């Protein structure tokens, strides 16, 4: 199953791959011909795996904040959040390599109070300063247990488009599709300081499944 954001790219890549394979059949040097065909087929397979959208059965729990994405926890620290809260929060950042599933899921259920897109740079997504300098979207969901929780989609060095479905005024459900970031990225969570964080730096997490923090 593939994410809808990848349909056009997958279709275009399929036709391009087919065309190149057909054209290279005219090459008499078998090593060159096979080499080109193998490379283009590998690239097509990589595009397919990037846009995969595996079904996840989220166990909805209002006392848990779950991971929005698949990836590796690269940052857990207390920070001063400047954009919305303007106070101290615990930041938990998950980095996604191009090989990870890039679907973004809602970490909690609630009402979307804030949703804003920021144009920016395309620094390597695991760098701390990418949270404020890179292209990104900021979403705040109000939840009856945790209050306001922010998650931020951040473009990486390869990413060139962030898709955000979480619009202000929308009631969202934990684990449902919140958007997509194309080709390498990161998601930051900004949590209340009195929360219990259940992961450590270096942990690998699955979006819609693994619990990041609890009340």
- For the question of residue 185 being annotated catalytic, the response is yes
- The DSSP line for 23-56 is HHTT-S-HHHHHHHHHHHHHHHHHHHHHTB----
Longest dimension (CA), the chain: 68
Measured from the Cβ of residue 107, the count of other Cβ atoms closer than 10 Å reads 32
Q: What is the DSSP letter of 209?
A: T
Among 93, 109, 130, 185, the active-site one is 185
Cα–Cα distance between 149 and 91 in angstroms, integer? 11
Q: Which residues are known to be catalytic?
A: 185
């Amino acid at each position: 199953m593939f994410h809808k954001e990848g349909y056009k790219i997958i279709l275009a890549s399929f036709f391009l791959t087919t065309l190149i394979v057909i054209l290279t059949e005219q090459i008499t040097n078998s090593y060159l011909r096979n080499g080109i065909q193998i490379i283009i087929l590998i690239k097509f397979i990589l595009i397919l795996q990037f846009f995969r959208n595996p079904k996840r059965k989220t166990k909805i729990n209002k006392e848990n904040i779950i991971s929005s994405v698949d990836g590796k926890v690269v940052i857990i620290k207390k920070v001063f959040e400047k954009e919305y809260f303007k106070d101290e929060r615990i930041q938990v950042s998950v980095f996604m390599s191009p090989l990870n599933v890039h679907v973004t899921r809602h970490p909690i259920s609630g009402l979307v109070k804030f949703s804003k897109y920021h144009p920016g740079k395309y620094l390597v997504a695991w760098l701390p300063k990418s949270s404020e300098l890179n292209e990104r979207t900021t979403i705040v969901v109000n939840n009856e247990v945790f209050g306001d929780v922010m998650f931020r989609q951040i473009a990486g060095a390869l990413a060139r488009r962030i898709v955000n479905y979480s619009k202000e005024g929308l009631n969202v459900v934990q684990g449902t599709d919140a958007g997509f970031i194309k080709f390498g990225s990161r998601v930051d969570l900004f949590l209340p300081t009195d929360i219990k964080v259940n992961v450590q730096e270096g942990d690998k997490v699955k979006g819609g499944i693994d619990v990041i923090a609890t009340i």
